Amino acid sequence: MSREITRIGVVGLGTMGAGIAEVFARSGYDVVGLDANETAVERGRGHVEGSTDRAVKRGKLTEEERAEVIGRIRFTTDYADLADRQLVVEAVPESLELKREIFEQLDKVVEPDAILASNTSSLSVTEIAVATARPSQVIGMHFFNPAPVQAFVEIVSTVVTSPDVVEDVQEVAQSLGKLPVVVGDKAGFIANALLFGYLNHAASMFETKYATREDIDAAMKLGCGLPMGPLALLDLIGLDTAYEILDTMYKQGRDRLHAPSPVLKQMVTAGLRGRKTGRGFYTYEAPNSPVVVPDALTPSAAQDGSVATRPVEKVGVVGSGTMAVGIIEVFAKAGFDVLYVARGDDKVGKVRTGLERSLDKGVARGKLSEADRDAALARVSGTTKLDDMADRDLVVEAVVEDLAVKTVLFESLDEICTKGAILATTTSSLPVVDLAAATKFPQDVVGLHFFNPAPVMKLVEVVSTVATADDVVATAVDVCRRLGKHPVTCGDRAGFIVNALLFPYLNDAVKMLEANYASADDIDTAMKTGCGYPMGPFELLDVVGLDVSLAIQRTLYLEFREPGFAPAPRLEHLVTAGYVGRKSGRGFRSYDG
């Protein structure tokens, strides 16, 4: 560090600013916190006192440490009190005009060599910097909410920011116990640039009534392991804040995927701004309350039990791969009579062996009793004859993801199965309606998209075509619940819910890497530590398989014809070169073995 920084100023004492002041004080810095008036200052003091009180109750701070932290922060409304500060962090609302006014004022007060930092999450740091006579001393220091908890900090360097300033701010961030990543001055930086495109897409999905808000959120939490669903997260961020961030990103990049969904503007105009107002996509117990209460929006008829279901006791599964074995296990453990079909006696035996091994692991881990394992195995039988599916109430296809292969199979099942039997496909990307069209009873065909590994993953996407009968959808939902799964319903559209939201986000991450904006490691760090994702996008791409990701992204692009969905060239090039992820030993990273 070219200078020793010990004195910090924070301008703006809302939730974020007060959190930033607390973070610095916890690390031993001398802090002055400023806001516009005494009311705002007292509110900021209350934020710090409340946060540190919670930290004491959780055992994160002692009472003595709490007193020391609060004692290191001096609250004021007078800019003159910032005169001796070596680093001042601005944390006011996302208004370029407001931030420029504050930086002009700070420029007049603090020493010429003091660093001025903005906590902006989307605005141009360059445009803020030129409001001062020291643009080389201006930088972005984007903390994530809540600042005392979130470890990630984006340090935003402009084309004129001094390298010494970047180095100093990096070291300050590290002294706070944060993980700093240096990026250029581009709208959204890393985390928001990737996050808000995904959130905007989810809002559009809700707006078009493709799926309910509950199903969209459940799909992303259960299907991707995310800490919150996208619509609940928008409510937490604030729909007005989300709109402003998206609007700023769109104006800078002109990417249609960042053009704010009209429903966001409508809700903001109506005062439905999320948790802070008590209503957004969800209704809350009170403003700023996390407690959701029921409102006028209700589940679909297929979900609410108002549609009669068909009886399902005998289930057929066609396939011999990992997914098929997992689905067989799920049905057998739930008490269904299961008959599976595989090509050849050897594959029938392999399926049985795979099933036994999986159930034995369940017993070894204490998830299953020996009696339950034996009962599940007794419910399962195998055959090589597709004709044996004739007495099944439900037949689930789990074969290779090839439309021609699946179509032939559905044509055969249509001839074999009795009238009224339900035919289900586990496809994750192919049109369900194409398979339905291969039968005489398209109303009896539905998608049941299980997630891998099927015995573990709770989510199932129930996909209806324009021809699927209501009672078939209701039956599929009921069967999923009997399996102990969480069903979400949606229409027959490329990607359904999860893949339609997940893979464009992954594709955007590849484009960001391709543009040399940030490294794969930094992007992964941003999404894991900044957004709480269980895996970074490049870790996930290597696990899923770059070839699988490319195929899904191509499908999305062909169906939606959205230029932003076009597969990233680097993804295509890596797949062409045989770098498809962990299974090949090389993807965005190299692997042993």
The verdict on whether 204 is a catalytic residue reads no
Do 225 and 286 meet the contact criterion of CB atoms below 8 Å apart? no
User: Does 432 score more than 70 pLDDT?
Assistant: yes
User: Does 304 score more than 80 pLDDT?
Assistant: no
Do 489 and 432 meet the contact criterion of CB atoms below 8 Å apart? no
Place of tokens 């890393």: 190
As a whole number, mean pLDDT of residues 132-159 equals: 94
As a whole number, mean pLDDT of residues 296-308 equals: 67
Kindly report the average pLDDT of the chain as a whole number. Answer: 94
The residue ranking higher by pLDDT, 284 or 294, is 284
pLDDT range class, residue 252, cuts 50, 70, 90: confident
Structural domain boundaries in the chain: 7-184, 191-298, 304-491, 498-584
pLDDT range class, residue 445, cuts 50, 70, 90: very high
Q: Which amino acid is at 130?
A: V
Number of C-alpha atoms within 13 angstroms, CB side, residue 284? 19
pLDDT range class, residue 301, cuts 50, 70, 90: low
Q: Per the residue annotation, which of 119, 157, 464, 499 is the catalytic one?
A: 499
User: Does 298 score more than 60 pLDDT?
Assistant: no
List, for residues 520-543, the tens digit of each pLDDT value.
999 999 999 989 899 999 999 999
Q: What is the pLDDT of residue 255?
A: 84
Q: Are the folds of 7-184 and 304-491 the same?
A: yes
Q: What is the pLDDT of residue 2?
A: 65
The verdict on whether 449 is a catalytic residue reads yes
Q: What is the pLDDT of residue 207?
A: 96
User: Does 593 score more than 70 pLDDT?
Assistant: no
Q: Per the residue annotation, which of 244, 329, 461, 539 is the catalytic one?
A: 461
User: Does 306 score more than 90 pLDDT?
Assistant: no
Do 450 and 328 meet the contact criterion of CB atoms below 8 Å apart? no
The verdict on whether 461 is a catalytic residue reads yes
Q: Spell out the CATH class of 191-298.
A: mainly alpha
Q: Which of 108-117, 295-304, 356-365, 435-444 has the lowest mean pLDDT?
A: 295-304
CA neighbor of 431 nearest in space, from 398, 464, 453:
464
Place of tokens 């299953």: 368
User: Does 225 score more than 70 pLDDT?
Assistant: yes
Do 123 and 96 meet the contact criterion of CB atoms below 8 Å apart? yes
Torsion angle of C-alpha atoms 192, 581, 181, 530, degrees rounded to 10: 40
CA distance 339 to 383: 7
User: Does 478 score more than 70 pLDDT?
Assistant: yes
Q: Report percent pLDDT > 90 for the chain.
A: 90
As a whole number, mean pLDDT of residues 504-508 equals: 97
As a whole number, mean pLDDT of residues 137-141 equals: 97
List, for residues 170-204, the tens digit of each pLDDT value.
999 999 999 999 999 988 899 999 999 999 999 99
Fold of 498-584: N-(1-d-carboxylethyl)-l-norvaline Dehydrogenase; domain 2 (1.10.1040)
Q: What is the pLDDT of residue 303?
A: 67
Do 1 and 171 meet the contact criterion of CB atoms below 8 Å apart? yes
User: Does 299 score more than 70 pLDDT?
Assistant: no
Q: Per the residue annotation, which of 142, 201, 258, 449 is the catalytic one?
A: 449
Q: What is the pTM of this model?
A: 0.89
Q: What is the pLDDT of residue 297?
A: 60
CA distance 439 to 445: 8
Fold of 304-491: Rossmann fold (3.40.50)
16 sits in which H/E element: helix 15-26
As a whole number, mean pLDDT of residues 277-297 equals: 89
The verdict on whether 288 is a catalytic residue reads no
Q: Per the residue annotation, which of 119, 428, 464, 549 is the catalytic one?
A: 428
pLDDT range class, residue 253, cuts 50, 70, 90: confident
Q: For residue 577, give every residue at least 6 positions away whose Cβ sits within 8 Å of its Cβ, in sequence order, or none.
A: none
CATH code for the part of the protein at 7-184: 3.40.50.720
Rg of the chain over CA atoms, in angstroms?
Answer: 28
CA distance 395 to 415: 13
Please give the distance of CA 307 from its chain centroid, rounded to a whole number.
32
The residue ranking higher by pLDDT, 388 or 297, is 388
CA distance 219 to 18: 34
List, for residues 38-81, the tens digit of each pLDDT value.
999 999 999 999 999 999 999 999 999 999 999 999 999 999 99
CA distance 526 to 518: 10
As a whole number, mean pLDDT of residues 394-406 equals: 95
Place of tokens 């399926």: 351
CA distance 269 to 264: 9
- DSSP letter for 81, please: G
Q: For residue 243, give every residue at least 6 positions away whose Cβ sits within 8 Å of its Cβ, in sequence order, or none.
A: 260, 264, 265, 268
